[in-house]
Amino acid sequence: MLNLTPRYTSTRIDELPALLQPLAAQSMTLARLYAARGIVQPDELETQLAGLLPAEQLKGIIEAVRLLDVAIDEGQRILIVGDFDCDGATSTALMMRALTA
């Protein structure tokens, strides 16, 4: 018969890559997540908006803005679709708020 006894393992702060040890003091969960994803270099942990692509470089953004502009000017109905992860829910809420303001 299989032994299905649950086991709990925990990562100690000193077992984390040096980069993640200061973060563990704030959130051990995030530090473990980053470590599990192999993040060990400071540039992999970039959290500033400066690291994002300029909006103009997003594929199809110019056409999307044009279509949205025309739809708003002509009073057309606009369907907003989003998924259920955190960025999908956030962007859906943001579009709803922006378009109904």
- pLDDT tens string 48-91: 777 788 889 999 999 999 999 999 999 999 999 999 888 899 99
Sole residue written with tokens 């997003």: 58
Residue 99 has pLDDT above 80, yes or no: yes
**pLDDT given for residue 25 in this prediction:** 76
The answer to whether the predicted template modeling score (pTM) of the entire model surpasses 0.95 is no
Lowest mean pLDDT among 15-19, 27-31, 67-71: 15-19
How many Å apart are CA 64 and CA 36, to the nearest integer?
Answer: 37
**pLDDT given for residue 23 in this prediction:** 74
- Which residues are CB-contacts of 99 (< 8 A; sequence separation ≥ 6)? 72, 78, 80
